[in-house]
Amino acid sequence: MQPAAERFWTTLDQHAGIALSEGPRQLSYAELRHEVAARASHLQRLGVQRVALALDNGLEWALWDLALLRAGLVCVPLPGFFSPAQQEHVLQHAGIDCLIGGPSALSERCGFQQTANGLLQRPSDAAASVPAGTLTITYTSGTTGQPKGVCLDAEAQLAVAESLRQASRPCDVRQHLCVLPLATLLENIAGLYAPLLAGARVELRPLAEIGFGGAAGFELPRLLATLQASQPHSLILLPQLLLALVSAAEQGVPLPDSLRFIAVGGGRVAPQLLERAERLGLPVFEGYGLSECASVVCLNTPDARRIGTVGQPLPHVELRLADDGEVLVRGPHMLGYLGEPPQVGEWLPTGDLGHFEDGFLILHGRKKHQFVTAYGRNVNPEWVEAELVQQAPIAQAWLHGEALAQNAAVLVPRRGDCSDAELQAAVERVNAGLPDYARVHHWLRAAEPFTAGNGLATANGRLRRNALFNHYQSAINALPS
């Protein structure tokens, strides 16, 4: 067992009370330790090396994940929001020899067979070697191409978990509700490992109960009902989920008084949204991280919070800026990408641009997303897009202006009956707070929402900018100059 994992289990040995719950089923910390030890021994006896988890959020996901950590075996979460082709890529690319999840067309296609022990196995092949110490391979959804496998050891993941435990300590979080899929590194580390280190209770519910997976996309009423039933102290939300909660609360929908720490990350959060949350009394704390750094590297906290920033660096990392403003991170980070040369150098480039104010990091956007207008002005479209989706009529927005004299946006209305006049008024409200070079000079109404199904967004909602450009290039070219 890696030293960081040994320290993790030593800490959990000191806790009592309920550790995990799913509906009526609960496990105390003592029962958790016993169950995890039994599963770890079982996996070791089987002789498996790389195990994929294809499970819904719940006790089973958490127990198998913790068992792999204890056994020192490689865990590969298989996100349910990946396409079948992406999932097959993960299973083949990572050289998975054991799949924990029900039999499916995918498992059959990839050669897995159910064994007497109830797990799906296949003979191990000549898979790409993993860097020494790898315990988790988390696949980034990416915006183009196949997902990449980020190799992490226990030290990196548990250093983040410990920093997050310390950051939330003033809020005395005793019950965390997992809202995001556990297959995402953020919820895995911040929503499972960190609360367990604190001796808190982690409540796990199937994603359908949270509101994911419905035919109409995310179903907010399910999340609202779950929050009232759970009365959690802490949550982790994506910006679009926070926007949905804030909008509901502004319309009079009650939110639990129990909430003490709502972390938000995974994309740019408009300061206006955080100000709206603050007016409602919601304890929202924006953070920033990336898979290559085992998730969170900066976070606003109860002791140090500034709206418009992603917070100060957590204790386990150092941050500095490159000459061009790119954020660099030193500290525990990935061992490398699976199948590629090992990560070298102390400072990891993030691909994000930013600057510091009084120790707080302010992000400008992705280096590769920045475009240059015909007048030579640099624009980070994420800034403008985040402001646009704050407007009630606009659900999604994409801004393009590379080499153009005037920027063009493609807008997805929030309602089918939303008029062009309403969209125009929303654009004008945003433009009033922007410099001319960043304004939306022209806009188009999208024919359909940007989704993973039509290839215009990733499964977790990030825009596929190249695909959007190819799709709308003719329409943009036809706009007046």
Residues of the chain with pLDDT under 70: 126, 141-145, 214-217, 375, 459-460, 481
Cβ(380)–Cβ(370) below 8 Å: yes
Query: CA 12 to CA 29: how far, in whole Å?
Result: 7
With vertex at residue 57, the alpha carbon angle to CA 53 and CA 61, rounded to the nearest 5 degrees, is 40
For residues 200 and 213, membership in a common domain is answered with: yes
Angle in degrees, CA 232, 62, 52, rounded to 5: 140
The answer to whether 272 and 259 have CB atoms below 8 angstroms apart is no
What pLDDT is attached to residue 48? 93
Answer with the one of 153, 179, 196 that is the final residue of a domain. 153
Same domain flag for 121 and 57: yes
CB atoms inside a 10 Å sphere around CB 320: 12
Are 362 and 309 contacting, i.e. CB atoms less than 8 angstroms apart? yes
Structure tokens at 82: 């990946």
Task: Say yes or no: 312 and 213 in one domain.
Answer: yes
Model pTM? Answer: 0.84
CA neighbor of 362 nearest in space, from 401, 325, 310: 310
Q: What is the pLDDT of residues 387-428, one digit of tens each?
A: 999 999 999 999 999 888 899 999 999 998 999 999 999 999
Pair 157, 193: CB distance under 8 Å:
yes
Pairing relationship of beta strands 408-413 and 442-445 according to DSSP bridges: parallel
Q: What is the pLDDT of residues 122-158, one digit of tens each?
A: 987 767 789 999 999 999 865 445 788 999 999 999 9
Give yes or no: residues 302 and 270 share one domain. yes
Q: What are the residues whose beta carbons fall under 8 Å from the beta carbon of 428, sequence distance 6 or more? A: none
CB atoms within 10 A of CB 244: 17
176 and 298 in a common domain: yes
What local confidence, expressed as pLDDT, does residue 256 receive? 96
Q: Is there a contact between 333 and 129 (Cβ–Cβ < 8 Å)?
A: no
CATH code: domain of residue 27:
3.40.50.980
Whether residue 169 sits in one domain with residue 120: no
Question: Is 146 in a helix, a strand, or coil?
Answer: coil
Domain boundary among 153, 174, 197: 153
Cβ contact 92:53 at 8 Å: no
User: What's the total number of domains in the chain?
Assistant: 3
pLDDT at 6: 95
Same domain, 130 and 177: no
The C-alpha atoms of residue 170 and residue 77 are separated, in whole angstroms, by 31
The gap between the terminal CA atoms of the chain, to the nearest Å, is 63
Identify the CATH number of the domain in which residue 471 sits: 3.30.300.30
Q: Which helix (H) or strand (E) holds 29?
A: helix 29-46
Alpha-carbon distance of 159 to 332, in angstroms, equals 7
pLDDT digits (tens, 9 = 90+) for 366-384: 888 888 887 677 788 988 9
What does 3-20 look like in DSSP terms, one character per residue?
HHHHHHHHHHHT--SEEE
Q: Which domain holds residue 97?
A: 3-153
**Coil/strand/helix, residue 264:** strand
Look up residue 180 and give its two tokens: 């995001």
Q: Take residue 162 and report the two structure tokens written for it.
A: 């410990």
DSSP assignment string, 336-363: EETTSPBP-SSEEEEEEEEEEETTEEEE
Single-letter code of the amino acid located at 235: L
In a shared domain, residues 232 and 217: yes
Q: Are residues 122 and 250 in the same domain?
A: no
Question: Sheet containing 360-366: which strands, arranged edge to edge?
Answer: 318-321, 326-330, 347-357, 360-366
269/256 same-domain check: yes
% the chain with pLDDT above 70:
97
211 secondary structure, DSSP code: T
The answer to whether residues 126 and 176 belong to one domain is no
Last residue of a domain, one of 153, 187, 209: 153
109 phi, psi to nearest 5 deg: -65, -30
Task: Indicate if 143 and 249 belong to the same structural domain.
Answer: no
Question: Hey, how many other C-beta atoms are within 10 angstroms of the C-beta on 399?
Answer: 27
CATH number at residue 206: 3.40.50.12780
Locate 139 and state its tokens: 């696949």
Distance CA 187, CA 141 (A): 15
Strands 18-22, 201-203: parallel, antiparallel or unpaired by DSSP? Answer: parallel
